[in-house]
């Protein structure tokens, strides 16, 4: 049984998939950092010094001066600023993956033609 498991783990497809997942997770972190740390601050500045990550709707009757304090108090919140950041992360990641897959498909077509 151990030998079968070892054969399964060492198959090319499993190793390739594992490498792809590890690189994908690292790339997703890179895109998240790009959006959060580089892209959103200038956009927030243009809109009027808004930090999207701190935009929220407080659903409780209490008032809180910041998102961190509202979270610490356990207040029910709609954190739409975090959602905006995540949406932008997703769109950028999807675009990069789209162009990468498109490039790979073109490379495969060229190999088959030549």
The tokens describing 23, both together, are 């690189």
The range of the structural domain enclosing residue 43 comes to 2-48+81-113
| Tens of each residue's pLDDT in the chain, 114 residues | 888 877 776 776 777 788 888 988 898 888 888 888 888 888 888 888 777 788 899 999 999 998 999 999 999 999 998 898 888 888 888 888 888 889 988 988 888 886
**Assigned domain for 34 exists:** yes
> Which runs of E-coded beta strand occur in the chain?
57-58, 77-78
**Domain count within the chain:** 1
Single out the residue of 27, 39, 28, 30 nearest to residue 85, CA to CA: 39
């Amino acid at each position: 049984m151990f030998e079968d498991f070892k054969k399964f783990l060492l198959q090319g497809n499993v190793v390739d998939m594992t490498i792809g997942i590890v690189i994908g997770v690292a790339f997703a972190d890179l895109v998240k950092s790009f959006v959060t740390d580089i892209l959103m601050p200038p956009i927030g500045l243009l809109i009027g010094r808004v930090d999207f990550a701190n935009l929220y709707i407080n659903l409780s009757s209490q008032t809180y001066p910041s998102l961190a304090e509202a979270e610490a108090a356990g207040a029910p919140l709609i954190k739409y600023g975090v959602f905006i950041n995540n949406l932008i992360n997703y769109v950028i990641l999807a675009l990069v993956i789209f162009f990468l897959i498109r490039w790979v498909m073109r490379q495969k077509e060229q190999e088959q033609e030549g």
